[in-house]
């Protein structure tokens, strides 16, 4: 499916990029100061899905900053907080926020996590910010360009599949239960097909690395909108491609889909398309609708 940027000349895109950047910077200081300290983690859906008080505090900081900067907006965040407003109205700004993408890494002292904020108007992404609090890298995009630390992102064409670097969090524990032997077969195929396969456990930051040209592709089959919205926009504005995997639900925008394939400029990796088809067939009972 292809998302059409019908509002590509929207004059608010740069305003929203700067508002998201200010909000993310405010929360980044909290994450830096609490990283590798004693943080109590709770289980959300299972032992692999963690949340901390730092996630909630980060969400609070970001939400208050965004609503103060852009009063005609509302926030869809991974963590629910008391100041979270109601629902969208036509023409209003929707913020899509993950206050810590990669909470498991954060909890275990692994320096690969980020703050992810996207802005959408009427379902179209118009701005994005991803901050890596530990490296200090700030990935941002409006509707004209993507930047890394205020320098234009324009990575070179990516190599052929056999020389490419893939990042993926698939399969996780839930995917193994859902997809059975196919999950391990696909992972094994990627190890054969790509030069390297890395598991980093942060879809947002993996997407930012694709936008920067540090990673050639990333794929996921069980993601939420706050995991990928900002990264999807960054990849596209850096001249890469992002395709949502809807499993037959054609009403979803690409960034709302439960799966995705993102590739750097010029990349077209058959192994990823094959995996997407096999997962689609398994999860839809062999349905032939658009994946």
Cα–chain center distance at 106: 16
Cα dihedral: 188, 189, 195, 196 (round 10) = -40
pLDDT at 176: 94
Beta bridge partners, 130, equal: 116, 139
pLDDT at 44: 58
pLDDT at 51: 75
Cα distance between residue 47 and residue 56, in whole Å: 18
Cα distance between residue 29 and residue 6, in whole Å: 36
pLDDT at 222: 95
Q: Which residues of the chain have a pLDDT value below 70?
A: 1-9, 43-50, 80-90, 287-291
Question: Is the distance from CB of 5 to CB of 141 less than 8 angstroms?
Answer: no
pLDDT at 246: 96
CB atoms within 10 A of CB 91: 8
Q: What is the pLDDT of residues 17-50, one digit of tens each?
A: 999 999 999 999 999 999 999 887 776 565 555 6
pLDDT at 39: 82
Q: In this structure, are strands 259-263 and 217-220 parallel, antiparallel, or unpaired?
A: antiparallel
pLDDT at 38: 84
């Amino acid at each position: 499916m292809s998302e059409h940027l019908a509002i590509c000349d929207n004059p608010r895109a740069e305003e929203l990029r700067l508002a998201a950047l200010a909000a993310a910077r405010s929360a980044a200081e909290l994450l830096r100061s609490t990283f590798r300290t004693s943080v109590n983690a709770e289980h959300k859906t299972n032992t692999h899905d963690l949340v901390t008080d730092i996630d909630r505090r980060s969400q609070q900081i970001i939400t208050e900053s965004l609503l103060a900067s852009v009063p005609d907006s509302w926030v869809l965040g991974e963590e629910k907080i008391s100041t979270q407003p109601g629902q969208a109205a036509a023409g209003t700004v929707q913020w899509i926020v993950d206050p810590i993408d990669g909470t498991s890494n954060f909890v275990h002292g692994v320096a690969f996590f980020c703050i992810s904020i996207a802005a959408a108007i009427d379902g179209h992404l118009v701005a994005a910010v991803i901050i890596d609090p530990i490296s200090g890298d700030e990935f941002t995009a409006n509707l004209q360009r993507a930047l890394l630390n205020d320098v234009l992102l324009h990575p070179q064409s990516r190599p052929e599949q056999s020389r490419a670097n893939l990042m993926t969090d698939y399969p996780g524990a839930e995917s193994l239960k859902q997809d059975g032997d196919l999950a391990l077969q696909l992972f094994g195929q990627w190890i054969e097909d790509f030069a390297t396969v890395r598991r980093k456990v942060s879809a947002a930051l993996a997407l930012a690395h694709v936008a920067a040209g540090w990673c050639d592709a990333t794929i996921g089959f069980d993601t939420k909108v706050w995991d990928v919205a900002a990264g999807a926009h960054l990849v596209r504005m850096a001249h890469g491609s992002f395709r949502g995997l809807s499993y037959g639900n054609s009403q979803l925008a690409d960034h709302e889909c439960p799966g995705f394939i993102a590739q750097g400029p010029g990349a077209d990796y058959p192994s990823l398309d094959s995996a997407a088809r096999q997962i689609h067939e398994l999860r839809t009972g062999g349905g032939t609708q658009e994946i």
